[in-house]
């Protein structure tokens, strides 16, 4: 039913409209691996969210490229797939490389939604018609600049402001923001920049009434986050630590977090993202959809995922124009004055792909075909 005739791998290079700084570094331009599946006249797309460097995760675009080319794509091309949900089983012999796997699996979900003539959101089990949106604001050169950025995003309607933080860029920023906006939904994301010696310091942020503190400690930790959570009132949200459903169960059971950020690439694809979503929902833990500076292809997939019922907090899924001078989809993703994105109801992802523009941005390309496919 889902026979893949060919897989095109492409690297595109796209400069960001604004540099994005986190506790692990600055990104000014993205190198992105796109997956294009060809199946019986249909075309489906996936985006790999692995970064330029292995800083957020141990994957990067170059490892994703080689593992896709040599291990993952051949398995997909040889398979007799009935359902996109069968992809994880097909790829499970390969350990890790979840972002590379997700790009392929998500493209198969896109394909299946086209074959079944339903929206991607409904195929995933989504029910929301609109999704609430927040923004992630990188570390800025000055306090004035961060206040300016927040003002712009609040005026645009965004419902939640998340500030990237690190030692030296934290309390005085939160204090200034809270002084000016006492009541906004405000959170922070440390991307693992703190250690046990910082527990008292982090506890002092309770006064700022943050909605959550995202991934304050080690990227692979549950135990010390649970120790920290016992010491503070503010909810901890885990991002990097949650690789799959079992991690979510462990983190919830150990009380390492009260909120989970779901990134479809980080957990290895839509199947696992849905599993994490469901595990959290059954245990009363709210989730929200994280972002990885995606182009419109990954962004459209994030929107579809965010339509599932337990995505009850505003996500990091925001307008195309915040990232790109021009996106590679049409229409671009826009956010309403009330900080919401309409979930498309059209067949597939609901966005058109600007193929000519992608072609212009392409710096390398590779076509892979099924071994069994015989050309007459
Ligand atoms: O930790 O959420 C993160 C971007 C790159 C890597 C990690 C993260 C982020 C963001 C940006 O916070 C979210 C976005 O796409 O706007
Ligand atoms: Mg994060």
pLDDT per position as a tens digit, 95-146: 999 999 999 999 999 999 999 999 999 999 999 999 999 999 999 999 999 9
Average pLDDT rounded to a whole number, residues 168-181? 98
State the helix-helix crossing angle for 270-282 and 296-306, rounded to 10 degrees: 30
Ordered by start, the domain boundaries in the chain are: 6-117+353-375, 122-349
Task: Write out the E strands in 251-351.
Answer: 259-262, 287-289, 329-330, 340-342
Average pLDDT over residues 339-355: 97
Ligand 1 and 21: CB distance under 6 A: no
Whether residue 284 is predicted with pLDDT greater than 70 in this model: the reply is: yes
pLDDT at 301 over 90: yes
In total, the chain counts a number of residues equal to 376
Average pLDDT over residues 25-53: 97
Closest-CA residue, ligand 1 atom 9, reads 292
A 10 A CB-CB count for 27 gives 19
pLDDT in tens, 190-240: 999 999 999 999 999 999 999 999 999 999 999 999 999 999 999 999 999
The catalytically annotated residue of 164, 179, 337, 371 is 164
Q: Is the CB of 191 under 6 A from ligand 1?
A: yes
What CA–CA distance (Å, rounded) separates 99 from 264?
8
Among all ligands shown, which has an atom nearest to the Cα of 292?
Answer: 1
What average pLDDT score do residues 326-348 get? 97
d(C-alpha 58, C-alpha 95), whole Å: 13
> Both tokens of residue 356?
């000519």
Whether the pLDDT of residue 376 is over 60: the answer is no
Cα within 13 Å of Cα(226), Cβ side = 12
State the Cα–Cα distance between residues 169 and 55, nearest whole angstrom: 19
Nearest residue (by CA) to ligand 1, atom 8, is 292
Give the per-residue pLDDT at 371: 74
> Which entry of 263, 337, 360, 371 is annotated as an active-site residue?
263
CATH number of 122-349, picked from 3.40.640.10, 3.40.50.1000, 1.10.10.10, 3.20.20.120? 3.20.20.120
> What is the model's pLDDT at position 372?
60
CA distance 316 to 135: 5
Give the Å distance between the CA of 262 and the centre of ligand 2: 10
Q: Is the CB of 290 under 6 A from ligand 1?
A: yes
Picking from 39, 45, 35, the residue whose alpha carbon sits closest to that of residue 6 is 39
The phi and psi torsions of 77 (rounded to 5 degrees) equal: -70, -30
Q: What pLDDT is stored for residue 1 in this prediction? A: 81
d(CA 215, CA 70): 33
Contact 119, 348 (CB under 8 A): yes
Are 39 and 7 within 8 A, CB to CB?
Answer: no
Can you spell out the DSSP letters for 145-211? HHHHHHHHHHHHT-SEEEEE-BTTBSHHHHHHHHHH-TTSEEEEE-TT---GGGHHHHHGGGGG--S
Residue 164, φ and ψ in degrees, nearest 5: -70, 140
Q: Is the CB of 268 under 6 A from ligand 1?
A: no
Q: What is the CATH number of domain 6-117+353-375?
A: 3.30.390.10
Task: Let me know if 164 is a catalytic residue.
Answer: yes
**Percentage with pLDDT > 90 across the chain:** 98
Closest atom of ligand 1 to 164 CA is: 12
Question: pLDDT-based confidence at 370, cuts 50/70/90?
Answer: confident
Averaged pLDDT of the chain:
97
| pLDDT over threshold 70, residue 298 | yes
Contact 244, 267 (CB under 8 A): yes
Average pLDDT over residues 297-316: 98
Nearest ligand for residue 239 CA: 2
145: annotated active-site residue: no
């Amino acid at each position: 039913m889902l026979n893949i005739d060919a897989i095109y791998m492409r690297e595109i290079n796209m400069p960001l409209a604004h540099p994005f700084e986190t506790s692990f570094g600055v990104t000014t331009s993205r190198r992105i691996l796109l997956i294009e599946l060809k199946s019986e006249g249909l075309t489906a797309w996936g985006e790999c969210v692995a970064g330029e460097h292995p800083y957020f995760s141990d994957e990067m675009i170059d490892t994703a490229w080689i593992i896709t080319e040599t291990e993952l794509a051949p398995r997909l091309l040889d398979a007799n797939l009935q359902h996109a949900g069968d992809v994880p089983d097909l790829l499970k012999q390969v350990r890790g490389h979840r972002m590379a796997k997700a790009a392929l699996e998500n493209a198969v979900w896109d394909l299946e939604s086209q074959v079944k003539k339903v929206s991607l959101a409904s195929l995933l089990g989504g029910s929301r018609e609109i999704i609430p949106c927040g923004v992630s604001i990188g570390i800025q050169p000055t306090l004035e600049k961060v206040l300016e950025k927040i003002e712009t995003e609040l005026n645009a309607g965004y419902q939640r402001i998340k500030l990237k933080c690190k030692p030296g860029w934290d309390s005085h920023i939160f204090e200034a923001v809270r002084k000016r906006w006492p009541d906004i939904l405000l959170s922070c994301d440390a991307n693992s920049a703190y250690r046990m010696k910082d527990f008292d310091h982090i506890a002092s942020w309770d006064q700022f009434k943050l909605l959550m503190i995202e991934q304050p400690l080690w990227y692979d930790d549950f135990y010390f986050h649970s120790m920290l959570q016992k010491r503070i009132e503010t909810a901890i949200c885990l991002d990097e630590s949650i690789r799959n459903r079992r991690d979510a169960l462990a983190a919830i059971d150990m009380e390492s977090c009260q909120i989970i950020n779901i990134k479809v690439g980080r957990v290895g694809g839509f199947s696992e993202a849905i599993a994490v979503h469901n595990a959290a929902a059954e245990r009363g833990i709210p989730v929200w959809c994280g972002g990885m500076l995606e182009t419109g292809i990954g962004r459209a997939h994030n929107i579809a995922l965010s339509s599932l019922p337990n995505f009850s907090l505003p996500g990091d899924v925001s307008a195309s124009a915040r990232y790109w001078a021009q996106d590679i989809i049409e229409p671009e993703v826009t956010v309403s004055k009330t900080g919401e994105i309409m979930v498309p109801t059209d067949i597939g992802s609901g966005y058109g792909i600007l193929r000519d523009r992608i072609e212009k941005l392409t710096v390398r390309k590779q076509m892979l075909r099924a071994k069994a496919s015989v050309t007459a």
